[in-house]
Amino acid sequence: MAEKLILAYSGGLDTSVAVRWLKEERGYDVVCLTVDVGMQKDRETLQSRALAAGGVAFRWAEAQETFIRHFAFPALAAGAVYEKQYPLATALGRPLIAKVLVDTARQEGATAVGHGSTGKGNDQVRFDVSVQALAPDLRIVAPVREWGMTRDEEIVYAQKHEIPVPVTKESPYSTDENLWGRSIECGVLEDPWTEPPEDVFEWTKSVADAPDKPGYVEIGFERGMPVALDGRELDPVSLVNRLHELAGEHGVGRIDHMENRLVGIKSREIYEAPAAVALLRAHEGLEQMTLSKEQVRLKERIAQEYADLIYNGLWFTVHHQDIAAYVQSTQRHVTGSVRVRLHKGTAMVVGRKSPKSLYDFSLATYDKGDVYDQSAAPGFIHIWGLPVRVQARAQMLAEEGE
């Protein structure tokens, strides 16, 4: 009997050809698994395509809620943004897909899993390292990394084997999308000097087409997690979907990044992440009000570490568990509401309030009601400036005199 392999199946050219290749060249019974992390794809179409390509079965795993609740929102709480630009949508999706691959492999008694990543990207690292952490006994096969076919050769292979491939107008781009954002690469985008043409964007209006009148949205948080929009409580998936519409309408969330891949390549990447960008701003705005200076400063450093570990495929690690525990602890008092103005590509925090606010009007005001003891200031400054005076006298002023 043939061994079983569970293939992460997107329905595109690569994974469709991979189904047949794994069967012909490696002798596997291929079960195609599509993990729904929020890409708008039609289940029936994928199923018939997977089976026509030679799969022995098709499985569909609904994972949108898990993705937002356990992957995207924790990254939001951490403030994780790669190289100050990329909210990590694709990078966050991979470990979850790997987890479902492993779970399915166990249920189906498979000995191997497969994915459609190339040998030049970060995604192969995320898939492989995640599977290795969760199920070291499973074999991992990445056909695109092994077969050495160009895209045109793949199309010929597909025709020869009568594999139905998406007949839609050939997109010149390579894209990946989930509920946290869209990643777009290849085609004219490979020239870093070329401005991204309008047709790479699907979720956001251009600044030119965005309304002249700003839009406002009030985002409610509880312990660092978004829970409401404009005063209405929403489940995580609905909240993110709604925010994609609101922010996308105003052209918020377009990103053009020269990125350092883990595999050593610099690459030009375009992203669209309207909800993520608006939520990151809002969350940061609320933290500024509810965390101490020291907490904010340390969290900024941790955010970078957190983004790197997500980007570099280290989701299923003890290091991540440790950092996540710290981040979660910092969110205990990050509860409140933030008003964000969406306008011509920008998302700006223009109001915030919290029952746990550390802002004290009577300390901050220059008007009536001031309780700050200004007479204590000179004493504070005297001590604060002490080492400055000592060193200046001993070293700076003395040198001038020499």
Catalytic residues: 14, 94, 123, 174
Which residue in the set 36, 176, 272, 287 belongs to the binding site for ligand ARG (CB under 6 A)?
Answer: 176
Give the strand order in the sheet containing 266-272.
174-178, 181-185, 266-272, 254-260
Scanning 168-176, 198-206, 318-326, 339-347 for contacts with ligand ARG by CB under 6 A, the matching segment is 168-176
Specify the residue, 108 or 259, whose C-beta has the smaller distance to ligand ARG.
259
Specify the residue, 23 or 126, whose C-beta has the smaller distance to ligand ARG.
126
Kindly give, in sequence order, each residue whose CB lies less than 8 Å from that of residue 398, ignoring residues fewer than 6 positions away: none
Nearest approach, Cβ of residue 183 and ligand ARG (Å): 4
Total residues binding ligand ARG (CB under 6 A)? 11
Scanning 28-36, 95-103, 169-177, 227-235 for contacts with ligand ARG by CB under 6 A, the matching segment is 169-177
Contact 11, 164 (CB under 8 A): no
Both tokens of 101, joined, read 């691959």
Which residue in the set 132, 171, 174, 357 belongs to the binding site for ligand ARG (CB under 6 A)?
Answer: 174
Residue window 14-43: x/- pattern of binding to ligand ARG, with contact defined by CB under 6 A:
------------------------------
Specify the residue, 47 or 183, whose C-beta has the smaller distance to ligand ARG.
183
Give the strand order in the sheet containing 225-229.
232-233, 225-229, 215-222, 336-343, 346-353
| Footprint on residues 323-382 left by ligand ARG (CB under 6 A) | none
Terminal Cα-to-Cα distance of the chain (whole angstroms): 91
Question: Does the CA dihedral 268-272-278-284 come out positive or negative?
Answer: negative
Nearest approach, Cβ of residue 308 and ligand ARG (Å): 12
Residue window 106-125: x/- pattern of binding to ligand ARG, with contact defined by CB under 6 A:
----------------xx--
Q: State the pairing for strand pair 29-36/4-8.
A: parallel
Binding status of residue 269 toward ligand ARG by CB under 6 A: yes
Which residue in the set 124, 178, 183, 204 belongs to the binding site for ligand ARG (CB under 6 A)?
Answer: 183
Specify the residue, 58 or 86, whose C-beta has the smaller distance to ligand ARG.
86
Which residue in the set 16, 66, 90, 104 belongs to the binding site for ligand ARG (CB under 6 A)?
Answer: 90
Contact 306, 78 (CB under 8 A): yes
Per DSSP, the residues of 317-365 read: SHHHHHHHHHHHHHGGG--EEEEEEEETTEEEEEEEE-TT----HHHH-
Contact 112, 28 (CB under 8 A): yes
Provide the β-strand partners of residue 399: none
Both tokens of 219, joined, read 């985002």
Binding status of residue 295 toward ligand ARG by CB under 6 A: no
Scanning 173-181, 248-256, 276-284, 370-378 for contacts with ligand ARG by CB under 6 A, the matching segment is 173-181
Sequence letter at residue 105: A
| Footprint on residues 217-256 left by ligand ARG (CB under 6 A) | none
Question: Does the CA dihedral 48-67-253-13 come out positive or negative?
Answer: negative
Nearest approach, Cβ of residue 112 and ligand ARG (Å): 21
Rg (CA), the chain: 26
Binding status of residue 272 toward ligand ARG by CB under 6 A: no
Contact 142, 22 (CB under 8 A): no
Sequence letter at residue 106: R
Which residue in the set 5, 80, 91, 286 belongs to the binding site for ligand ARG (CB under 6 A)?
Answer: 91
Which residue in the set 128, 154, 185, 287 belongs to the binding site for ligand ARG (CB under 6 A)?
Answer: 185
Can you give the binding site for ligand ARG, defined by CB under 6 A?
90-91, 122-123, 174-176, 183, 185, 259, 269
